[in-house]
Chains A and B, each alone.
Chain A
Amino acid sequence: MRFEIEVQLKSKKYSYSIAFEFPEGFKELRVFEEKLTVDSKSVYSRKLAEVHLAKNGNQKDAQFPIDWHLVALPIVQQQSARDPSFVFKQWLARMLILRPMPSLIRGDSDRETLEPNPQVTDFGAWFAGLLADALSAYRKIDEYLKQVMPDLKDIKNRLVGTDSRSLVVQFSNDQGSVTIPFEDLSDGEKCFMICALVLAATDAYGPVLCFWDEPDNFLALSEVGHFVLALRTAFQAGGQFIATSHNPEAIRRFSGENTLILYRKSHLEPTIVRRLDDVQISGDLVDALIRGDVEP
């Protein structure tokens, strides 16, 4: 089983690969080989238990053994924030893999983070971390949210204890104003909030890879297209946005060259992935999906 990832960061191409094997008599997988390169120059490579660190500046090549069940990437020590392994690891860590569960998002926090969990139950910590990293992020958050909720006035992250904060959202119009605890927002409104943070994150510390599992969930049908389009637009400037969806409105906001169809005949067979452009479809795509006629 081999995983490979290539990413361009600040005009440099980072390539990371790792292969696992399951030899006879073993009870768990072991790492067969692993490699990180930048612009084709090795940062480190590894074969089974032997890690080889490439020569760096005045330092010599180095080798050290490692448990062959462990991945070397998090163990290799970086020298500075400019070290390629640090740059790559930070990019990996800041990937946004989102599968929000709005009913569990309360808006409380006792820390700051730039690495929200997939369910985004630590939204408050992400909000605090993002503003601590770049105060200007609030402008982006505010700009987007005022498009979708024109009566939004302000978001406050109030201190509620010595180390804890809690988000409240204020809405106002000519009839008056109301302040709502974050947890009382609707599921769809919480998704707008998450979207706003994603847009601000791409601005503040991009390029970011954002994978959002079914971004259409919890949204009104009339909102789905605009939601996806806002995300796609933000990522045109850099980074990558990947969404999975079964929703016709979300699917329609992508095109043949940037849509992949995933198909699995059974749980015992691998998932087949095909570009939509490479699949023969008669008539409208959504109709074909409803008919079940889109098989790679």
Chain B
Amino acid sequence: MSVNQYQQHVFVLPEDEANLQIANGFHLQVPLNRQRQMQVLPVARGWPRVLELFQSVHVSEMERNFRRSMVLLIDFDGKVERLTKAKAVIPGNLADRVFILGAFTTPEALRQANLGTYENIGLAMAKDCREETNIIWGHELLQHNSSELDRLREHVRPILFPSDAWARPD
């Protein structure tokens, strides 16, 4: 078994290597007894391919498994309208279980903004989610995610960061 298919779980589909490393950093912050409820998938190689894979593979799998949620991790390349484009491929019956997040330009810009390595950026994102703060998510290159993030926090926090999870050191 990988993720526990019989419990609520989250798949993360990263666009590229940088987004994969961010997702790895996030995963490292998830308490050990919840880590298996998150799975970071191999990189899709480009945001159009993320949407393509989502439609061709994950839509049917999500319809079969109502416990699965998905985070599509894409670069916005400075185009806010990409969120609308991406949302257009998500079937209405899955919309509340699919989340689209990403850097406003590219993850490289996050690194250049002195937010740390990709892994550390992911760690900080998870810490914000766990502690319900907005330190890194409030950064100008990430704040466009706010509406998706609110939904994500409400939905994913109880899965990955429940109050009864084992305490973990920072």
Q: Residues of A with Cβ closer than 8 Å to B? A: 143-144, 147-148, 220, 222-223, 225-226, 229-230, 232-234, 236-237, 248, 252-258, 283-286
Given contacts A144-B32, A226-B36, 9 further A-B contacts (CB under 8 A): A143-B33, A147-B32, A225-B2, A229-B28, A233-B28, A236-B169, A252-B24, A255-B24, A255-B118
A236 to B28, CA, bound (A): 9
A154 to B24, CA, bound (A): 32
Please tell me if the beta carbons of A257 and B17 are within 8 angstroms of each other in the complex. no
Please tell me if the beta carbons of B32 and A256 are within 8 angstroms of each other in the complex. no
Q: Hey, what's the 0/1 contact readout for B32-45 against A, CB within 8 Å counting as 1?
A: 11011001101101
Contacts of A148 in B (CB 8 A): 36
* Chain B: number of interface residues, binned into ranges: 20 to 34
26 residue pairs bridging A and B, Cβ less than 8 Å apart: A143-B32, A143-B166, A144-B32, A147-B35, A223-B2, A225-B40, A226-B2, A226-B35, A226-B36, A229-B24, A229-B35, A230-B32, A230-B35, A232-B28, A233-B28, A234-B32, A236-B169, A252-B40, A253-B24, A254-B24, A255-B24, A255-B119, A256-B17, A284-B17, A285-B17, A286-B42
The closest CB in chain B to the CB of A288 belongs to: B17
A256 to B17, CA, bound (A): 9
B162 nearest CB across to chain A (Å): 15
A252 to B24, CA, bound (A): 8
B24 nearest CB across to chain A (Å): 6
Contacts of B33 in A (CB 8 A): 143, 147
Q: Which 7 A-B pairs have the closest CB atoms?
A: A222-B2, A255-B21, A237-B169, A255-B119, A257-B117, A226-B36, A233-B28
The closest CB in chain B to the CB of A257 belongs to: B117
Contacts of B169 in A (CB 8 A): 236-237
| Residue B1 CB within 8 A of the other chain | yes
Contacts of B118 in A (CB 8 A): 255-256
A229 to B16, CA, bound (A): 19
Please tell me if the beta carbons of B27 and A256 are within 8 angstroms of each other in the complex. no
Please tell me if the beta carbons of B43 and A147 are within 8 angstroms of each other in the complex. no
A277 to B27, CA, bound (A): 21
Contacts of B40 in A (CB 8 A): 225, 252
Contacts of B24 in A (CB 8 A): 229, 252-255
Contacts of B17 in A (CB 8 A): 256, 284-285
| Residue B25 CB within 8 A of the other chain | yes
A202 to B33, CA, bound (A): 17
Contacts of A285 in B (CB 8 A): 17
B28 nearest CB across to chain A (Å): 6
| Residue B110 CB within 8 A of the other chain | no
B118 nearest CB across to chain A (Å): 6
Contacts of A256 in B (CB 8 A): 17, 21, 117-118
The closest CB in chain A to the CB of B119 belongs to: A255
Q: Hey, what's the 0/1 contact readout for B1-35 against A, CB within 8 Å counting as 1?
A: 11000000000000011001100110110001101
| Residue B168 CB within 8 A of the other chain | yes
The closest CB in chain A to the CB of B40 belongs to: A225
Contacts of B16 in A (CB 8 A): 284
Contact of B32 among A233, A252, A254, A284 (CB under 8 A): A233
Please tell me if the beta carbons of B32 and A255 are within 8 angstroms of each other in the complex. no
A148 to B35, CA, bound (A): 11
